[in-house]
Amino acid sequence: MGCDGGTIPKRHELVKGPKKVEKVDKDAELVAQWNYCTLSQEILRRPIVACELGRLYNKDAVIEFLLDKSAEKALGKAASHIKSIKNVTELRLSDNPAWEGDKGNTKGDKHDDLQRARFICPVVGLEMNGRHRFCFLRCCGCVFSERALKEIKAEVCHTCGAAFQEDDVIVLNGTKEDVEVLKTRMEERRLRAKLEKKTKKPKAAESISKSDVVEEAPGPSKVKAGKPEETSLDSREKKTSSAPRSAATNESSSGKAKKPPCGAMKRSIAESEESEAYKSLFTTHSSAKRSKEESAHWVTHTSYCF
C-alpha cells in the first residue's frame, strides 16, 4: 500500500462504497432532443420530419436510413419502427423572429442562450425549447403547443383549416408514458391498414369476375371471348360470306339467274367522276391519243424526216 513519508490514508480512500448514480443535465437533454436529429445526431435543418412516436429527424437522414441495407442498420434502434417514408410526417414549423442563430457570433465569443428556440407556436407564441409541451397533427403536419389546443378547442387546424381527430394529435418528445400510448396507437393503426388491404383484394377480384360474367351472359350466340383482333376478323369474314349468300337467295327467288354483263363490272375511267388531271395519267385519256400523222413506223422513223 505504500504509506511512505508518513502519509495517513483516510477511510473513503481505502473502503469503496456504492457508486453514485450519474444525473443527466436536464438542459443538455432538452437541447439534444429539440435541436438535434435523433438518428444522425446532427443539427436539425429543414425539411424536418417527425415519426409516430413524436421524435424529430432530418428528412435526409431518414431517407438514407431506409436506403441503407448494411449490417450497421440494426444499430439504429431509434428509427427501427420506421419502415417507409409514409411512417413520418413533414412538419410545418413557424420561425421565431427573436432567434438570431450564428449571425452575431462572428468572433466566437457570444453567449449561446439555450432557452431561445428557433421555432414558436403560431397561436400562443411559446418557444419550442422543451419547457412547454408541443404536438403536431398527422393529417397536415402543423405544429402547436398543447396549451393552444386546450385553450382554443376546435376540430379544425388553426393554420391550414384541415379537419383532424384525437388520434391525429401526436406529442413531440413526450414522456415514457406518452411514448407507450403513441406506440399502442401506431400498432393499432397499422393493423387496421393491413385489414383494409386484405378486404379490398377479394372485393376487386369479385368485381372483375362479375364483369366477365356480364360480358358472356347476353346474346343467344355462344361466342368465346377472345382477343379484339380475332373477333373483328371473324366478323369481317362473316359479313363477306353473308353477302354472296344473300345475292344467291335473291336470284333464286326471282327465278331467272342472269350473269352480270362484262361492261358493268369494268368501269372505264373516262366515265368516272374523277378530275381531268387524274384522268390524264392514263392512256385511255384523249390527251394520250395521237393521230396517224403524228405516229410513225418504228423502222422508218428518224429525226431527219421532220
In DSSP notation, 131-191 reads: SS-EEEETTT-BEEEHHHHHHS--SB-TTT--B--GGGEEEET--HHHHHHHHHHHHHHHH
pLDDT confidence of 274, banded at 50, 70, 90?
Answer: confident
Residue boundaries of the structural domains of the chain: 26-99+115-200
Grid cell for residue 194: 393491413
pLDDT confidence of 270, banded at 50, 70, 90?
Answer: low
Residues sharing a CB contact under 8 Å with residue 34, sequence separation 6 or more, in sequence order: 56, 117, 128, 129, 130, 173
In which residue are the cell numbers 490514508 written?
Answer: 9
Question: For 25-34, 141-150, 177-186, which range has the lowest pLDDT when averaged over its residues?
Answer: 25-34
The pLDDT assigned to 304 comes to 53
Does the structure show a pLDDT above 90 at 181?
yes
**Mean pLDDT taken over the chain:** 75
Dist. CA 152–CA 36, nearest whole Å: 30
Question: For 160-174, 189-203, 204-218, 242-256, which range has the lowest pLDDT when averaged over its residues?
Answer: 242-256
Helix, coil or strand: residue 50: strand
The pLDDT assigned to 93 comes to 93
Q: What is the pLDDT of residues 66-115, one digit of tens each?
A: 998 776 665 567 788 898 999 999 999 999 988 877 665 656 666 666 66
The pLDDT assigned to 60 comes to 93
What value does the mean pLDDT take over residues 154-174? Answer: 89
What value does the mean pLDDT take over residues 16-44? Answer: 84
What value does the mean pLDDT take over residues 142-154? Answer: 90
